[in-house]
């Protein structure tokens, strides 16, 4: 994946455990062409070792720190116990980015009809982008919207383009298919109540104030203007305030602004707002659970309404004349 054949000392890399021996565990460095390394038993944990199988298992993929590298003999000593939680997070992020880049370039090379190889792509495009952007993944993100700006700057030693037009088109198509960001759904759950005269109208006005808050916030960009906030009834007095955006922080900010606008409007009319759950990103599962909840509440309301109608009909069957004679 990388231009360097061996990792540097103190670098955290991702490995896969291949076997466990008396001295330690033999692993493959996934980012460095699967070259072999070893985690000594003393470097597995800071605690006393009671069972090696509980600490490390064959097939497991995990981050480790490089202690020593002997390029001539091919020895790489690694440590698991010296890796901090921050190192784990950074290593996993880097590895996932590198894996995505490698997958895209491998697919382009395998489907190319002009004989382009994976090593050729790395040499003339991948590694130059790593050097320029810190990581090729960052360059690929820019290529989603501005591919020419990135690729036109890459040249071979003879001055020709880094890749052919066929490879270029295939690369951009694959990058856009895999890396185009998907909008996040941001949601806040609130309760709105107002027991004043025309309280229902006051709640509707508060909902409108929340939805208008985005436009009144003065978003400077066209993207800000396109982000809309919607307020929906779940079951009185519960409402949800939602929006969809590519920027999570911006989405949370807009929903918070809408909730504040709704609170201000309803409290001005003597009503009350209660924030049940603050603005946060929600998944498809969360949406599904909300839809199921709304369906159950709607069904319960229908059953309650039909029950009250049956009671009314029963009361209408009283025989007034018979009742009068009995009296």
pLDDT digits (tens, 9 = 90+) for 227-262: 789 999 888 889 999 998 888 888 899 999 999 999
Find the helix or strand (DSSP H, E) in which 62 lies.
strand 61-70
Is residue 53 over pLDDT 70? no
* Alpha carbon of residue 24 to chain centroid: 37
Question: Rounded CA gap, 5 and 96, in Å?
Answer: 19
DSSP string of 160-228, one letter each residue: SBSS-HHHHHHHHHHHHHHHSPPPEEEEEEEEEE--STTHHHHHHHHHHHHHHHHHHTT--SHHHHH--
C-alpha R_g of the chain:
31
For 100-154, the pLDDT digits (tens) are 999 999 998 888 877 788 898 998 889 999 999 999 999 998 888 888 888 888 8
Task: Select from 29, 61, 83 the last residue of a domain.
Answer: 83
Q: Residues of the chain with pLDDT > 70: what percent? A: 86
Domain membership of residue 26 as a residue range: 12-83
pLDDT value of position 323: 45
CATH number at residue 59: 2.40.50.140
pLDDT value of position 223: 53
Q: Residues of the chain with pLDDT > 90: what percent? A: 37
Find the helix or strand (DSSP H, E) in which 61 lies.
strand 61-70
Angle between helices 85-111 and 165-179 (to 10 degrees): 140
Task: Select from 151, 179, 207 the last residue of a domain.
Answer: 179
What six digits make up the tokens of 67? Answer: 């202690």
Phi, psi of 7 (to 5 degrees): -75, 165
Q: Rounded to 10 degrees, what is the CA torsion of 291, 295, 300, 306?
A: 150
Q: Do 204 and 220 sit in the same domain of this protein?
A: yes
Is residue 219 over pLDDT 60? no
Confidence of residue 310 (pLDDT cuts 50, 70, 90): low
Is residue 304 a part of any domain in this protein? no
Report the domain count for the chain: 3
Q: For the chain, what is the mean pLDDT?
A: 84
Task: Select from 147, 179, 211 the last residue of a domain.
Answer: 179
Predicted TM-score (pTM) above 0.85 = no
How much of the chain is helix, strand and coil, in % rounded to 5? Answer: 50, 20, 30
Q: Rounded to 10 degrees, what is the CA torsion of 267, 269, 274, 280?
A: -80
Is residue 303 a part of any domain in this protein? no
For residue 64, what are the contacts with CB-CB under 8 A and spacing of at least 6?
12, 13, 15, 27, 37, 39, 78, 79, 80, 83
CATH number at residue 215: 3.30.70.1130
């Amino acid at each position: 994946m990388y231009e360097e054949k061996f990792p540097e000392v103190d670098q955290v890399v991702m490995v896969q455990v291949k076997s466990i021996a008396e001295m330690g565990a033999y692993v493959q460095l996934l980012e460095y062409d699967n070259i072999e390394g070893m985690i000594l038993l003393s470097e597995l944990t800071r605690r006393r070792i009671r069972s090696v199988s509980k600490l490390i298992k064959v097939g497991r993929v995990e981050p480790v720190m490089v202690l020593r590298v002997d390029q001539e003999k091919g020895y790489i000593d690694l440590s698991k116990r010296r890796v901090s939680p921050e190192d784990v997070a950074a290593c996993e992020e880097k590895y996932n980015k590198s894996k995505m880049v490698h997958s895209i370039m491998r697919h382009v090379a395998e489907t190319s009809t002009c004989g382009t190889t994976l090593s050729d792509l790395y040499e003339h495009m991948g590694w130059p982008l790593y050097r320029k952007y810190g990581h090729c993944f960052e360059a690929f993100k820019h290529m989603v919207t501005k591919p020419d700006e990135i690729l036109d700057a890459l040249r071979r030693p003879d001055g020709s383009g880094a890749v052919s037009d066929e490879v270029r088109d295939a690369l951009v198509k694959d990058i856009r298919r895999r890396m185009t960001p998907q909008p996040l759904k941001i949601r806040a759950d609130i309760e709105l109540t107002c027991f004043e005269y025309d309280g229902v109208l006051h709640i509707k006005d508060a909902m409108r104030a929340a939805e208008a808050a985005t436009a009144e916030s003065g978003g400077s960009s066209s993207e800000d203007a396109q982000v809309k906030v919607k307020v929906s009834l779940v079951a009185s007095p519960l409402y949800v305030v939602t929006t969809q955006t590519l920027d999570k922080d911006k989405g949370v900010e807009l929903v918070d602004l809408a909730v504040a606008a709704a609170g201000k409007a309803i409290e001005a009319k003597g009503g009350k707002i209660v924030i049940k759950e603050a603005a946060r990103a929600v998944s498809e599962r969360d949406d599904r659970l909300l839809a199921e909840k709304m369906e159950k509440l709607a069904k319960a309301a229908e059953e309650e309404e039909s029950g009250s109608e049956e009671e009314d009909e029963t009361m209408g069957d009283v025989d007034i004349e018979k009742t009068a004679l009995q009296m």
